[in-house]
C-alpha cells in the first residue's frame, strides 16, 4: 500500500522536476531528482530509469546525470550519442562510447548541424560512419567549416 501511494505521489512531481532540470540545466533540480530516485530505491520502490532521461542528460551536457542513470539501469541506444553530439558535448560522447554506447551516422549529422567541428573530427577519427546528411545539414545551417572539412575528407 505504501509503495503504491509513493509511486502515485511521485509520478507527477518527478516528471516536472526532470523536465525543468533538463530544460533549465539546473544543478539543484538534477540533484533533487537524483535524491528522490535514491530515496525511492532505498525505500523499496525502485523505478525503471527512462531512456529519455539519458538522452536529455546527453543533449544538455549533464555527465553526472548520465553516469547515474546508466549505473541505475538506463539502457544504451544510439540516440544518446546523437544527442551528445548535437549538444557539442565531446567529453560526454567520449565517456558514452568508452562505456559501450552504440552510435551511427546520426552522431556525425547532429554534430555537423550544430557546427561542432571538434565533435565531428573525434567521431570520424574513432570510426563513426557518416553519410550525405552531414553535408546537407552543415550547409542548411550555415556551417561552412564543417562542410569544407566533410567534403575534403570524402563525405558524400
- DSSP assignments along 32-91, one per residue: HHHHHHHHHHHTT---PPPHHHHHHHHHHT-HHHHHHHHHTTPPP-HHHHHHHHHTT-HH
d(CA 17, CA 33) in angstroms, rounded, equals 6
The structural domains of the chain, ordered by start, are 77-156 (1.25.40.20)
Task: Say whether pLDDT at 62 is over 70.
Answer: yes
Task: Say whether pLDDT at 5 is over 80.
Answer: no
Q: For residues 123 and 103, is the Cβ–Cβ distance under 8 A?
A: yes
Cell of 82: 546523437
Q: What is the pLDDT of residues 6-60, one digit of tens each?
A: 555 555 555 555 555 555 556 676 677 777 777 766 777 666 667 888 898 899 9
Cell of 57: 542528460
Task: Say whether pLDDT at 113 is over 80.
Answer: yes
How much is the pTM? 0.77
The chain-wide mean pLDDT, for the chain, equals 84
What is residue 81's predicted lDDT score, i.e. its pLDDT?
Answer: 98
Q: CA 64, 69, 70, 74 torsion: positive or negative?
A: negative
Amino acid at each position: 500500500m505504501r509503495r503504491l501511494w509513493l509511486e502515485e505521489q511521485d509520478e507527477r512531481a518527478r516528471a516536472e522536476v526532470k523536465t525543468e532540470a533538463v530544460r533549465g540545466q539546473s544543478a539543484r533540480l538534477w540533484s533533487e531528482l537524483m535524491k528522490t530516485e535514491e530515496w525511492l530505491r532505498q525505500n523499496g520502490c525502485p523505478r525503471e530509469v527512462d531512456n529519455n532521461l539519458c538522452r536529455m542528460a546527453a543533449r544538455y551536457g549533464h555527465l553526472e546525470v548520465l553516469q547515474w542513470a546508466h549505473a541505475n539501469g538506463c539502457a544504451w541506444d544510439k540516440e544518446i550519442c546523437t544527442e551528445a553530439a548535437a549538444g557539442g558535448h565531446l567529453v560526454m560522447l567520449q565517456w558514452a562510447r568508452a562505456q559501450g554506447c552504440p552510435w551511427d551516422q546520426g552522431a556525425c549529422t547532429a554534430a555537423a548541424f550544430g557546427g561542432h567541428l571538434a565533435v565531428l573530427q573525434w567521431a570520424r577519427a574513432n570510426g563513426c560512419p557518416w553519410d550525405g546528411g552531414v553535408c546537407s545539414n552543415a550547409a542548411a545551417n550555415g556551417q561552412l567549416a564543417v562542410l569544407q572539412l566533410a567534403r575534403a575528407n570524402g563525405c558524400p
